[in-house]
Structures are given as structure tokens and as C-alpha cells.
């Protein structure tokens, strides 16, 4: 499958916040895609909203959704530390999906499901309104060039969509190690009339315990990047 064909399979939107990179699957990751995705994965269906009560073993547990989980480091750590919470991870890149699937099996996790698709379309079509306790967006692509700013996922459309899917009192948690993108997020999120900044100063928040310090973040810190956390509550 070519990169263009794969892009079309994973989204129908003309402007995307991601580019499919043809990273090479290891044999273990490829095997996980074949054997474990049917067990732990959810097939994207624009005509079918998810029923969390039938999706997870713990039917009444709150649901957190992580957008762009990479290799699944934070997703698996949170699912392990919070067994009474259910997790949905959304990612487009096959090597990351395969790696996360391997982790789910090796850790014996029953509270994680994976969707390999565009997160915007997953939120729009598959997540019921007011169904999520938390939406997590950790270190999304900053699209640093000005002509690419339209590709940044944190836009007014995204914020409105997330707010609609969060329960009242639910939390949107974004994190980035690019200062320019942090300021962009802050401006866009502070303008929302459905989300309230958890920081009393209307600025950034301390990193909460539930966000794992991942290898990606550690790399940014070694490069001298300041990590900014933005937490907003649905009102």
C-alpha cells in the first residue's frame, strides 16, 4: 500500500494533522497487527457509535481517550496504574500500534482498546456525547512552519468536538515541548466558552501524576525544551 493510499484509508478529511511515515514494522509488530489487533482493536465505523458497556470488562468505569499515543508508553503506564479506568488509544502509525498491542498482551491488560484511524473522525463519528472523562493529547506534531499551522490538531473545530465528547467536569489535557505551539494552544483553548483553564493564572498547569514522563519527553528535555501542560475542565 502506498503512502497516499494509506492516508486515504485512515481519513477522508482534506487537511490532516498527521502524515503517514512508512516506518518499518518489526516481525513482532507485524505479528501483533495480525494476531492482536482483532482482539484489542476497534475497527473504525463512521456509522456506529461505541457502546462502552459492551466494549470493556469493567462496564461502569470512566473512559479516557489518548490521541496519538506513539508507541503506547503513556497509554500502557496509565492503564497499568489505573486498572479501574478504561482507555481508548487512537493512533495512525502501524509500528506504534503494533508495539502497543504487544504491551497490552504482555501486561495482561483488559482495560485498553486501540483504534487505528484519524482521531478527529473517531471523535466525530464513534464517541457518544458527554461520554469521556478525559481526553489526552501528549506531544502532537507542532507543524512548526507557518504555512503548516492549519495542520495543527488544536484548532477551534477540535476544541469544540472534544468539549462535546467530555462529560461535565471532564478534562482535556494537552502537553507539548514546543513553546510556540504551547502559546498557540493556550490562545485557542482560553477562547473556548465550554472549557475552563485549570490554572488560576490562566496559564500552564503543573504536570499531573497521570501523565507519564515518556522517552519522547525525555528527549525534548535533553534538547533543552520546556514542557508545558495545559489542563481544561468541561463546564
The DSSP string of the chain is --HHHHHHHH---SS-S-----PPPPHHHHHHHHHTHHHHB----TT----HHHHSSSTTS-EEEEE--TTSHHHHHHHHH-TTSEEEEE---HHHHHHHHHHHHHHT-SSEEEE-S-HHHHHHHHSPTT-EEEEEEES-----SGGGGGG-S-SHHHHHHHHHHEEEEEEEEEEES-HHHHHHHHHHHHT-SSEEESSTTSS-BPPPTTS---HHHHHHHHTTPPPEEEEEEE-
Active-site residue, from 34, 51, 73, 141 = 141
Q: Average pLDDT of 32-46? A: 97
CATH of 50-234, one of 3.40.50.1110, 3.40.50.150, 3.30.565.10, 3.90.1310.10: 3.40.50.150
Q: Report how far residue 213's alpha carbon sits from residue 163's, in angstroms, rounded to the nearest whole number.
A: 26
pLDDT bracket for residue 233 (50, 70, 90): very high
pTM value is: 0.89
Q: Average pLDDT of 97-125? A: 97
Residue 195 has pLDDT above 70, yes or no: yes
Q: Average pLDDT of 20-33? A: 85
The pLDDT mean for the chain works out to 90
Q: Report how far residue 25's alpha carbon sits from residue 63's, in angstroms, rounded to the nearest whole number.
A: 29
The pLDDT score that the predictor gives to residue 217 is 77
Residue 82 has pLDDT above 70, yes or no: yes
Q: Report how far residue 163's alpha carbon sits from residue 194's, in angstroms, rounded to the nearest whole number.
A: 6
User: Which residue is associated with the grid cell 486501540?
Assistant: 114
Q: Residue 18: left (phi > 0), alpha (psi -120 to 50), or beta?
A: beta
Cβ atoms < 10 Å from Cβ of 43: 11
The pLDDT score that the predictor gives to residue 10 is 62
Name, in order, each residue with C-beta under 8 angstroms of 159's C-beta and a sequence gap of 6 or more.
Answer: 172, 188, 189, 192, 194, 195
Q: Phi first, then psi: give them for residue 135, nearest 5 degrees.
A: -120, 130
The pLDDT score that the predictor gives to residue 2 is 44
Q: What percent of the chain has pLDDT over 70?
A: 89
pLDDT bracket for residue 131 (50, 70, 90): very high
The answer to whether 141 is a known catalytic residue is yes
pLDDT bracket for residue 113 (50, 70, 90): very high
Q: What percent of the chain has pLDDT over 90?
A: 77
Of 56 and 3, which is predicted with more confidence? 56
The pLDDT score that the predictor gives to residue 197 is 98
Domain ranges of the chain: 50-234
Radius of gyration of the chain (CA): 17
The pLDDT score that the predictor gives to residue 3 is 46
Confirm if 38 and 97 have CB atoms less than 8 A apart. Answer: no
Amino acid at each position: 500500500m502506498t503512502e497516499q493510499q494509506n492516508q486515504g484509508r485512515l481519513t477522508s478529511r482534506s487537511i490532516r494533522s498527521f502524515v503517514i511515515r512508512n516506518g518499518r514494522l518489526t516481525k513482532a509488530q507485524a505479528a501483533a497487527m495480525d494476531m492482536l489487533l482483532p482482539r484489542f482493536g476497534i475497527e473504525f465505523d463512521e456509522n456506529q457509535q461505541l457502546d462502552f458497556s459492551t466494549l470493556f470488562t469493567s462496564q461502569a468505569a470512566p473512559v479516557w481517550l489518548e490521541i496519538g499515543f506513539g508507541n503506547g508508553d503513556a497509554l500502557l503506564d496509565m492503564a497499568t496504574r489505573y486498572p479501574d479506568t478504561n482507555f481508548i488509544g487512537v493512533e495512525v502509525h502501524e509500528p506504534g500500534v503494533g508495539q502497543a498491542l504487544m504491551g497490552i498482551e504482555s501486561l495482561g491488560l483488559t482495560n485498553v482498546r486501540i483504534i487505528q484511524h484519524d482521531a478527529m473522525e473517531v471523535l466525530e463519528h464513534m464517541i457518544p456525547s458527554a461520554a469521556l472523562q478525559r481526553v489526552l493529547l501528549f506531544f502532537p506534531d507542532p507543524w512548526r512552519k507557518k504555512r503548516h499551522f492549519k495542520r495543527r490538531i488544536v484548532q477551534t473545530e477540535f476544541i469544540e468536538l472534544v468539549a462535546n465528547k467530555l462529560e461535565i467536569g471532564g478534562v482535556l489535557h494537552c502537553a507539548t515541548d514546543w513553546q510556540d505551539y504551547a502559546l498557540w494552544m493556550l490562545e485557542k483553548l482560553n477562547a473556548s466558552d465550554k472549557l475552563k483553564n485549570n490554572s488560576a493564572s490562566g496559564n500552564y498547569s503543573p504536570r499531573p501524576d497521570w501523565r507519564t514522563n515518556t522517552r519522547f519527553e525525555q528527549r525534548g528535555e535533553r534538547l533543552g525544551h520546556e514542557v508545558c501542560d495545559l489542563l481544561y475542565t468541561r463546564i
